[in-house]
Amino acid sequence: AHDAPLSPAAGLGFVSLVGAGPGDPGLLTLKARARLMHAQVVVYDRLAVQSLPCDLPAAVELHAVGKEAGHHPLPQEEINALLVRLGREGKRVVRFKGGDPYVFGRGGEEAMALHDAGVPFEVVPGPTSGVAAAAYAGIPISQRRESVRLTLVTAHEAVKKKGPQVRWDLIAPDAHDTLVGYMGLTSLGEVVHQLLAAGMDPETPAAMIERATTAAQRLVRAPVRDLPGAVEAAGIGPPALFIIGRVVRHADTLDWFARRPLFGQRLGLFAPGGELADALSLAGAELLEPPAPLTPAARVVMAVAPITGWIFRSADEVDLLEEERDTPGFGAELTAWCLTDEATARARELGWPHVERIDDQPAALVAAIGAHPQG
């Protein structure tokens, strides 16, 4: 049953520290999804939102404790206290964190708080953003004869007033290391300064990746000495991380993600999506597949980033989404892709600004959306 206790400890709940992965909802692990679907409470970060299952049961209690650069609505100590309180109340809790809980996610602090309070917990790893971002940018993060070491750092260590814990002087001269910097946007200039001052070749290939693995992914590449200027010129925003090393040069050849025909499209399709969903995903779309009627989790996921189009198979589906059009995620540029005459007529009747009647065959649907200008 949904509310059955998971922990053998009498009177105590159970907390799962779950990694959401880097943003692509398809990278959520099977174990992570199972824990979410059987949770009573989900405590989630901003960077984990896109990976929330849209079919999460409506009875699940959702707590947003999102953090952004320079803005922490709920201090870490209060998040720790919330997890302890929920566990002591006997709840089955998922603490849903972007990437992996133990890779610059402060999951260790939360686990320690739970341990000290006597609350049973587990850790469910997720793909860490640095490794996944490289893969989606066409960068083989370790490549034989080029990179024999991988260094993951939290880049804002470069600007700590008490001095960095990162030994930039040891990293800089190592030509066979791949350096990945998390939270690296605001401190990039100082990182590059320290690396160059410590002897890094200024021509070393480098990249900054914004919103990796999602429809909003952007990549800027330049020699390391020029990367801060290139990032500023491109207007790259958080969340973003940098990769510095020889392996970055392979991005031109191996950039499989951004070359797919529907890259950049964030599309909605009511479940079950079937063959259409498979075709859209394989073509590179970031696909939302919520149930009808919409769940609270689906609304949270839909609002996190602009939706570029919605595929309608019936007039009833158009009616189901009509009241959502004034909510975040639904902009004026969204296209209603209608697979039937009835859906087309209803969308036009309700005043959807961009309505397209298209064939319901997967290949035709992909071709039509891919040929349609975005924005």
Q: 64: which 2 tokens? A: 């947003």
Which of 3, 31, 55, 67 is the catalytic position? 67
Clarify whether 55 is annotated catalytic.
Answer: no
- By the 8 A CB rule, do 280 and 287 touch? yes
> Whose CA is closest to 198, among 220, 229, 221, 177?
177
What's the Cα-to-Cα distance from 354 to each of 7, 136, 181, 350, rounded to whole Å? 51, 31, 41, 11
For the chain, the helix, strand and coil percentages under 3-state DSSP, each to the nearest 5: 35, 20, 45
d(CA 187, CA 197): 16
d(CA 115, CA 80): 11
Q: How far apart are the first and last CA of the chain?
A: 45
The C-alpha angle 75, 107, 290, rounded to 5 degrees, equals 85
- By the 8 A CB rule, do 14 and 87 touch? yes
Which of 3, 24, 31, 45 is the catalytic position? 45
Place of tokens 């860490």: 128
DSSP annotation of 246 reads: G
Strands 286-288, 266-269: pairing kind: parallel
Q: Is the dihedral of CA 373, 129, 71, 154 positive or negative?
A: negative
Clarify whether 45 is annotated catalytic.
Answer: yes
d(CA 281, CA 286): 7
d(CA 365, CA 338): 10
d(CA 31, CA 48): 16
The residues annotated as belonging to the active site are 45, 67
